[in-house]
């Protein structure tokens, strides 16, 4: 399973990249607005830190402008994944950019039917938003199970399931059980994966007992 971080905060990205566990980055217009930075230089900087796919989302919603924006974003670096919305125009952009060899991430997916369309349009990634479905009392993880099952029936589709709108560690664990290819998580959720009270308790005891031996390894 690949780990992407869902943020436009360059300090968090650098911090997580230093762990060696980070496979990519996703951004969206809301995260860019929150960063307060200029979009293009920010994406350039992220691409200089992370070699895996970096999702940069188009801002327009009409086909012609999205195509122009997508082509411009794709030129920033080889690892840019142009992010387009799951609309008829967005999928048309997806098909054309994918045919030209650009990595495309189709975002705002909320149904298996939409995920089928994205795969047929040649998306490299489909981003189903689990947390936003949970928020309206629908089962976000069931959507992941459905998409994984459907995609397994069609090995000729190269689209990876990129679980998005992740809110807590169990979204990640359940995604892994289901065989989703990628999760994109806010930095605080990735950090929560490390935590277990028995790890802290056990380490405290080992440190104390080692002191009692009076020895040093170095």
Binding site for ligand E4P (CB under 6 A): 6, 26, 28, 107, 127, 129, 131-132, 164-165, 184
Query: 73 Cβ partners below 8 Å, 6+ apart?
Result: 43, 56, 58, 80, 82
How far apart are the C-alpha atoms of 201 and 124, rounded to whole Å?
43
User: Between residues 127 and 213, which has the closer beta carbon with respect to ligand E4P?
Assistant: 127
**Closest approach of ligand E4P to the CB of residue 216, in Å:** 46
- Taking the complex as a whole, how short is the minimal distance between the CB of residue 55 and ligand E4P, in angstroms? 6
Q: Which of 205, 154, 148, 155 is nearest to 179 (CA)?
A: 148
How many CA atoms, within 13 angstroms, populate the side-chain half-sphere of residue 3?
19
Given 68, 75, 83, 192, the catalytic residue = 83
Q: How far is the CB of 158 from ligand E4P (least distance, A)?
A: 19
State in angstroms the smallest separation of the CB of 203 from ligand E4P: 32
b/e per residue 150-178 (b: at least 16 CB within 10 A): bbeeeeebebbbbbbbbeebebbebbeeb
Do residues 97 and 91 lie in contact, with contact meaning Cβ atoms separated by under 8 Å? no
Least distance between ligand E4P and beta carbon 201 (Å):
32
Q: Write the CA distances from 40 to 37, 101, 139, 177, integer angstroms.
A: 9, 21, 35, 36
Is 119 or 162 the residue whose CB approaches ligand E4P more closely?
A: 162
Residue 192 annotated as catalytic: no
Q: Which is nearer to ligand E4P, 98 or 184 (CB)?
A: 184
**Lookup: tokens for 187:** 């930095």
Looking at the Cβ atoms of 64 and 188, the one nearer to ligand E4P is: 188
Question: Residues, the chain, total?
Answer: 218
Measured distance CA(68)–CA(48) in Å, rounded: 23
Active-site positions?
83
């Amino acid at each position: 399973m690949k780990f992407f971080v869902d943020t436009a905060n360059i300090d968090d990205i650098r911090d997580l990249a230093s762990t060696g566990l980070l496979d990519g980055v996703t951004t969206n217009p809301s995260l860019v607005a929150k960063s307060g930075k200029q979009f293009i230089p920010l994406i350039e900087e992220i691409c200089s830190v992370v070699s895996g796919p970096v999702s940069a989302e188009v801002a327009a919603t009409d086909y012609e402008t999205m195509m122009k924006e997508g082509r411009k974003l794709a030129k920033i670096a080889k690892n840019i994944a142009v992010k387009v919305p799951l609309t008829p125009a967005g999928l048309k952009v997806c098909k054309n950019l994918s045919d030209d060899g650009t990595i495309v991430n189709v975002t705002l997916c909320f149904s298996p039917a939409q995920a089928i369309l994205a795969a047929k349009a040649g998306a490299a990634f489909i981003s189903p938003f689990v947390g936003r479905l949970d928020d309206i009392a629908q089962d976000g993880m069931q959507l992941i199970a459905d998409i994984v099952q459907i995609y397994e029936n069609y090995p000729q589709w190269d689209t990876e399931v990129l679980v998005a709108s992740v809110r807590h560690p169990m979204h990640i664990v359940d995604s892994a059980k289901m065989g989703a290819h990628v999760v994109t998580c806010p930095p605080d959720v990735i950090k929560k994966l490390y935590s277990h009270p028995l790890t802290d308790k056990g380490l405290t005891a080992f440190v104390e007992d080692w002191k009692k031996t009076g020895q040093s390894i170095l």
